[in-house]
A and B are shown apart, each in its own frame.
Chain A
């Protein structure tokens, strides 16, 4: 069985996207997946389940915290919220990501060489 070509995310990318999304507003797991898919214009094919181990890692690092609440569809859900430490972590990650991106695009840019 041949799978369609799929690019893996680099390690830490999913966490970064989660933190970035949560910075705008707290939300529960399902909503988080939909939000990420939507904002990426469905370019990023992420397995929905893979979100949960990432969320557990962030919980353990105290970058997010979770509280039980009621969703818009009236379900009992766990709502994740960015912590101060999470915000700081996101800043650090973003700036290093930007540096890396700059470097990559310089190399990939046409001409010059």
Chain B
């Protein structure tokens, strides 16, 4: 405990020490006086013989201190005082750092929450997505989701696997809940046995589904999400055991999942058991997402091999009905590519976020360069003070440390302000972030973000403090003391650091502006793409589902839908109406099937290529503004008469028959029992999966088809063209119109097609906004930096310019000289920047559309813009320099 006592008694120790030294000096003086010296001489001699009192006291005190810590504390106090003495410098520097830090902290919090944090499940690192590639089934197996699982695949995998603790399949959908105040369409997730067990999150109330709940035609059960439980039941814990009506079926509530629980990436209101009927399963039906929990120590490679081993078992165990060959799936070349569940959730957003993080990091570098400049100027002004400190015995290391402490402190203080701004920034990011950005709801500033922020602040402080500190701690004490305060022209060498910073800033700003420019070009290219529908702002979409228990007979389903159409078209201001199984870009899982053409030969077991298919009502194309390239739409009488007619997309027509007009009168069908359908119209290509994706080949069936499954299409999107789309009064009338046909039908996904469209470009616009912000910040910081440096340099050269003017140089000459120097810096910066951009923009290739990463137009435009801006930033101070009055400039010499 001695050190503790020392800590508190230190003040006294120091006081006693000072007293002791004073006594020593007195005694010495007296003795010398006794030898016959005068009092003054004696005092001087005593001091001389004693040595440097300040240094000795400090050394004595250091005995008791933790020296470094104490010194640093001292440096901090000193630094704070120095910062307080120049409030303008401090404010400008702090603000620059704070904005840079805030932007970085905000973006990092997104990167951290989305990419770095583990998923919100216990032992989430064991969770995998049962991803399968199937290069032989193009279309059905897309790049993002791969080939989903069929129910029979699930059963095979669940029974024969050796590498999983548990596995299950799930599918998201919608259902109508009735019997409460208003019918409501809710989001559902249907799960097989094993899904809840795999995710491992215990329910907040009640229990999971048991195996008994998964028996077909067994008891009907349902589990609520926390949000739905709060919204519909006010969080009442006695809901367990009560019944709700889901799709006209009564289901018993057995549990409530905790807050924040999601099925992989899906929010939901209700979850229900899939309850597969083993006896009726076939090979096909690839619509389920598979998830699994790996056994302890099992690797992804082992799991892949395990799945590959089970594929033949699967083909041998099931069939698609008599007369079919179960081994045709060998032509699909199904390849298990199991991946961590987190990767499945994040998808390809990682690339986007790292690009944004990188650009914001560069903004930070530019901000640091600015602060370095400020510090250079500031330390130059303080050279005398530094020289005095050196003269008083401070070593070089000590001075460097002092200056670094000051700059790191600036950095950390900037960090504190920055964190405050970052809280606002994160809220902004979440607001403007694309809604399809995975895990957006988890974004928050957590301990890791804070740690990152303060490490970044400290490091930036070191970074921008290092150059000035090294520069001004050098052994030039003598000259600094002599020349201090005089306006000597400064040497070329002293401007070198500043010029290098200007070049660096120009180069970095160029890279950022280049990437922002490429995004602008991408956005422009996207805007020019014809999505396949027109004037989406005035297109109202409403999704309505008619469950089998409500209306079972297929034709009545279609007639009900037609009745709704009639009511809707009677609303004031409605131009036309139609419905479709799915509007483009709505993002529902699309449906694919093999399509055979009558005039083509399909040998043996060969399956025809898979095509996306949709069902459309008469009038839909006209309503949506989708052009007919050839032929005509179908009519309602054809629909009810089950006339075998069909429409195809232009690209499908071209692929099969060469030209759109050649397609008219040809015949296609899905499977052998289906009658051949005559192609009566060819529809323009539609950007079904988003503007950036190429249009798929599409077959358009009628809403009522002679089909082996359900002939009617029960869930459709109604599309209404009206100037009043999106207004409350209009939506009320739409609701009333639907309920006048059947009051048990809820309306879901109520939005204008414009909103659907905006969502599909949300990722691009988010990137654009982020890179735009980064680019603008870079430009603004760059201008400030360059302007500041030029102004300062010119103010330093006032005397030189004064002499030049006095010797007969004209204002124009001076202006030209200064601009020439500015241009040189700008050009060097631009050249370096173009080199950097050439290397770096390649990283964002996947974010671009309709423009290459090395787009010459963007490169040229940005380079010219930057040179002009730099010249402007030089021109204003240069202009001022030409107004220097030589007699004033030289007066003080």
Contacts and interface: CB of A to CB of B under 8 A. Distances in A.
Contact of B60 (A52, A77, A78): A52
A29 B56 CA distance: 14
B53 A49 contact: yes
Interface string A57-75: 1011000000000010101
A52 B26 contact: no
20 contacts: A29-B20, A29-B24, A30-B23, A30-B24, A47-B50, A49-B50, A49-B53, A50-B51, A52-B21, A52-B57, A52-B60, A53-B59, A53-B63, A56-B17, A56-B61, A56-B63, A56-B64, A59-B63, A75-B23, A76-B23
B567 to A, nearest CB: 95
A105 to B, nearest CB: 32
B758 interface: no
Interface in A68-101: 71, 73, 75-78
B30 interface: yes
A107 to B, nearest CB: 33
Given A29-B23, A48-B50, A52-B21, 11 more contacts: A28-B20, A29-B20, A30-B27, A47-B49, A47-B51, A49-B50, A49-B52, A49-B53, A50-B56, A52-B60, A60-B64
B627 interface: no
Contacts of B30: 73
Contact of A77 (B6, B20, B52): B20
Given A53-B59, A56-B17, A56-B60, A48 B24 contact: yes
A37 B63 CA distance: 24
A73 B13 CA distance: 24
A78 B49 contact: no
B24, B51, B59: which has the most chain A beta carbons within 10 Å? B24
Contacts of A28: 20
A49 B21 contact: yes
B724 interface: no
A34 to B, nearest CB: 8
Interface string A20-53: 0000000011100100000000000001111011
Nearest to A34: B31
A46 to B, nearest CB: 9
A76 B19 CA distance: 10
Given A47-B51, A52-B17, A57 B63 contact: yes
Contact of A30 (B13, B28, B53, B64): B28
Contacts of B6: 60
A37 B30 CA distance: 18
Contacts of A53: 56, 59-60, 62-63
B182 interface: no
Nearest to B61: A56
Contacts of B17: 52, 56
B31 to A, nearest CB: 8
Interface in B29-83: 30, 49-53, 56-57, 59-64
Contacts of B20: 28-29, 52, 77-78
Given A30-B23, A30-B24, A49 B51 contact: yes
Contacts of B24: 29-30, 33, 48
A33 B17 CA distance: 16
Contacts of A47: 49-51
B16 interface: yes
A91 to B, nearest CB: 23
Contacts of A59: 63
Contacts of B64: 56, 60
A92 to B, nearest CB: 21
5 smallest CB-CB distances across A and B, nearest first, come from: A49-B51, A47-B51, A49-B56, A56-B63, A53-B59
Contacts of B16: 78
A48, A57, A71: which has the most chain B beta carbons within 10 Å? A48
Nearest to A68: B16
Contacts of A78: 16, 20
A50 B17 CA distance: 13
B6, B28, B50, B61: which has the most chain A beta carbons within 10 Å? B50
Nearest to B24: A30
Contacts of A56: 13, 17, 60-61, 63-64
A77 B63 CA distance: 21
A96 B343 CA distance: 68
B42 to A, nearest CB: 14
A77 B17 CA distance: 11
A48 B21 CA distance: 10
A59 B21 CA distance: 16
Given A30-B27, A49-B21, A75-B26, A60 B50 contact: no
A55 B50 CA distance: 15
Contacts of A30: 23-24, 27-28
A29 B13 CA distance: 15
Nearest to A66: B16
A48 B51 contact: yes
A52 B23 contact: no
B652 to A, nearest CB: 91
B51 A77 contact: no
A77 B21 contact: no
A98 B877 CA distance: 74
A28 B21 CA distance: 11
Nearest to B16: A78
A33 B562 CA distance: 114
A111 B203 CA distance: 95
A47 B61 CA distance: 18
Contacts of B50: 47-49
Contacts of A55: 60
Given A47-B51, A57-B63, A60-B63, A52 B27 contact: no
Contacts of B13: 56
Contacts of A76: 23
A77 B23 contact: yes
A18 to B, nearest CB: 14
Contacts of A60: 6, 63-64
A84 to B, nearest CB: 17
B49 A75 contact: no
Contact of B27 (A50, A57, A75): A75
B27, B50, B61: which has the most chain A beta carbons within 10 Å? B27
A56 B50 CA distance: 16
A76 B16 CA distance: 11
A55 to B, nearest CB: 8
B701 to A, nearest CB: 94
A76 B21 CA distance: 12
B47 to A, nearest CB: 10
Nearest to B49: A48
A86 to B, nearest CB: 16
A73 B64 CA distance: 30
A60 B63 CA distance: 8
Given A56-B17, A78-B20, A48 B28 contact: yes
A52 B28 contact: no
Contacts of A48: 24, 28, 49-51
A74 to B, nearest CB: 11
A76 B22 CA distance: 11
Contacts of A71: 27
B59 A73 contact: no
B9 to A, nearest CB: 12
A59 B24 CA distance: 18
B62 to A, nearest CB: 8
A77 B16 CA distance: 10
A53, A55, A57, A76: which has the most chain B beta carbons within 10 Å? A53
B392 to A, nearest CB: 15
A95 B62 CA distance: 29
A47 to B, nearest CB: 4
A67 B27 CA distance: 19
Nearest to B30: A73
A45 to B, nearest CB: 10
A113 to B, nearest CB: 41
Contacts of A57: 63
A48 B52 CA distance: 10
Given A48-B49, A49-B50, A73 B27 contact: yes
